[in-house]
Structure 1
C-alpha cells in the first residue's frame, strides 16, 4: 500500500506518522506557540528529526466552535510558511490542512505534497477537481456540517454504517474526477460525542472494508482528556494508549502532536505483531 507524493512512493504498509504544525492562534492544544517563522522552522525540523514522514500544516483551527477565518487570512498565514519550509526542508512532505480549493491550489503550486480536507470536498465544490489536477494524495475526513455546527449533528441511525455510506459516496465522487490516492479519516471529535468516538474506535476495523489507507487523528483530543478529567497538556499517556489501539484496528497513519512517542508506539506495535 503506497502513496505517490510528488513522485516519491511512500509505503504505508508499515504505519507512518504525520506531525501536526499548527500556525493558528487558537488551536486547542498548541495555538499561538509557533508564532513566527523561526519558531515554525525549528518545529518543522524537530518533527522531521523525530521521524515524521509528513508534516500537516494548518492555518484554520477546526476545533468545535472555532472562529471563522477568511480565505484571505488563511492564505496570509499559510503561504509564507509553506515557502519557508519548502526552502529550508525541500525533502519534507507537506500536507495542507484546508477545506478551501484556492488555499490547496496555492500551496500545491509552492511544493506541498498532500491535501488534508476535513470536509471531503463538501464545503468547496472545486476541491476535488483541484486535487485531481495536481494528482496528489487526498485525505478525506468524515464530518457533518462545519466546525461551527458539527457538534449539533451527532444523531446517527447506525454510526459506523452511516460513516461507511458517507465514505462510499465521497470516494466514488473523488474517483470520478480522477483522484487516485485517497486516504480516509474517520474524524474523531468531529460531529461525534465522546461515547460515539469510543464506539467508532472500537469498531474501526470495519473501515478496512473500504480497502483504502486509514488516517487517525486522536492526539490529545477531548475524548481523552475529558474522560480522564485532565487537560490537553496532560493527555499524552492517554493518546499513546489509543494510538496503540488504533494501530491494532488498522490505522496506517497517525496524525500527532508528539512524533517521538508515536514512532516508539509504532515500533513496539510492529514487534508484537505475529
Structure 2
C-alpha cells in the first residue's frame, strides 16, 4: 500500500533544489577505502574514484557520498590524517568536474572541516555528532547540511547481539534527541536530515521493521535517508554471501523504502536504483482519468 509522505520544506544544496514531494533522490556511494564491506579497494586510487563519480552522475546520482573510513561491522578506525589523505583529492577533483552536491561520510571534525573547505556540502555522520561534538560548530560555520544517523554502539561492536524492546520507538527517540541537540548547538532544523541506520546495530528483523514502518519517523519533520545497499540482512534473506552480488535484493528494499516514505536512498548501483524508482514513481503518481483519452 502506498504511503503519502508528509510535506517538507524544499532544501537547496549548492543551487540544486530538493523538493521532497518529488523524490526519492539517490545518493551514490564512493568508498575511498581498502576495506569497505562491498567495494573496499575498488576506488582507492584517485583516477578510479573520479571515474566512479562520473559514472554515478551519468547514471542519475543526485548526491555523491564520499567516505575514507570503513564503517562495516567489526571495522577498525583510521586516523583523521589518513582519512583526509584519502578523501580530499577526490572531493577536489569531483568538485572541479561537477556542481552535484557532495556528502562527506565521516565522524571526525577535522575530516569534515577539510572536506567542506574543498567543496563538500553535507556531513553524513553515523554517530549523529556524538563522537566529536565540535562537528556541530563546524557544520554551523559552513552552513552545511547534516545527516544524523542512529547507531547502537560503534562499528567495532554494533553487531554483537543488538537488542531493543521497541526498535521503532527507541530509534525515533534517539533521533529526536539528536535533532534537539544539533539545533541547540547552532544547526538550523531545516538543515538536518535523519537516517534510521539500517545495519548499524540491528539484526535482520530490526532492519525489516525499520524499512516497513519508515513513515513513523515523519513526525520528526526531517527528510529521511535510508541506506540498505548490499547489506548483510539482504544476504541473510537471500543466501547471497558476496555483498557485491546483492544489487537485486537491494532493489527490493529500495522500492519498499520509497513507498514507505524515504526521501533519499543511499546506494552503490545508481543505475539500477534509478530504474526502479522511475517505475515506483510512475505507479504511485498516476492520476485517475475520466473516460477515454
TM-score tier (shorter): over 0.9
Among residues 178, 184, 187, which one is paired with 1:170 in the alignment?
Answer: 178
1:246 corresponds, among 251, 254, 257, to 257
> What residue in structure 1 maps to residue 150 of structure 2?
142
Task: Give TM-score, length-normalised by structure 1.
Answer: 0.96
Deviation of 1:8 after TM superposition, in Å, equals 3.8
Distance 1:236 1:8, change over 3 A: closer
> In structure 2, which of residues 267, 276, 280 is the aligned counterpart of residue 256 of structure 1?
267
Tell me, yes or no, if the aligned pair for 1:24 and 1:58 is still in contact at 8 Å. yes
1:208 corresponds to: 218
Q: How many Å separate the matches in 1 of 2:11 and 2:282?
A: 24
Give 1:157 shift: 2.1
CA contact (8 A) 2:14 2:99 kept: no
Alignment of 1:93-104 (within 5 A): 93-104=101-112
In structure 2, stretches of 5+ residues that fail to align are 1-8, 286-293
* 2:29 is the counterpart of 1:37: no
2:6 paired residue number: none
Shift of 1:235: 1.0
**Superposition RMSD on alpha carbons, in Å?**
1.3
SS at match of 1:224: helix
Stretches of structure 1 lacking an aligned partner (at least 5 in a row): none
Find the structure with the greater CA-based Rg: 2
Task: Give the Cα separation in 2 of the matches to 1:67 and 1:175.
Answer: 31
Contact 1:4 1:137 in 2 (8 A): no
Aligned residues: 273
Q: 1:132 aligns with which of 124, 128, 140?
A: 140
Distance 2:20 2:67 in 1: 22
Contact 1:145 1:153 in 2 (8 A): no
